[in-house]
Amino acid sequence: MIPSTLPYSQKGPLRGQIMAQDASVLAGLLARRLKQSKIHISTAESCTGGMVSSALTDIQGASRWFNQGWVTYSNEAKMTQLGVDESLFALEEGAAGAVSSEMAAAMAVGAAKISGAEMSISVTGIAGPTGATETKEVGLVWVGISINGEVTTKSAEFGHGDRHSNKEAFATFALRVALEVWGDHFETEEENSEEEVEEEIVSSSPDIPQALEILNDGPKSEDWQGDVAWSNGEEEPEEPKNESENILDSAISWGDE
Q: How many domains does the chain have?
A: 1
Q: Is residue 203 part of a domain?
A: no
The residue segments making up the domain with residue 29 are 4-198+249-253
Question: Is 217 among the domain residues?
Answer: no
Q: Is the pLDDT of residue 34 over 50?
A: yes
- For position 135, what pLDDT does the model report? 80
- pLDDT of 165 above 80: yes
> Has residue 215 been placed in a domain?
no
190: pLDDT strictly greater than 80 = no
Residue of higher predicted confidence among 6 and 105 = 105
Closest Cα to residue 109, out of 55, 148, 75, 74?
148
Q: Of 23-32, 136-145, 151-160, 203-212, which range is least confident?
A: 203-212
| Contact predicate 120/53, CB 8 Å | no
Percent of the chain whose pLDDT exceeds 90: 54
Q: What is the pLDDT of residue 2?
A: 41
In this structure, what CATH number is given to the domain that contains residue 12? 3.90.950.20
Q: What is the CA radius of gyration of the chain?
A: 18
Q: What is the pLDDT of residues 62-88, one digit of tens each?
A: 999 999 999 999 999 999 999 999 999
Query: Does 181 map to a domain?
Result: yes
Pick 195 or 231 by higher pLDDT. Answer: 195
Of the chain, the end-to-end C-alpha distance in Å amounts to 21
Inside any domain, residue 244:
no
Which of 153, 208, 201, 157 minimizes the C-alpha distance to 177? 153
What predicted TM-score, i.e. pTM, was given to this entire model?
0.69
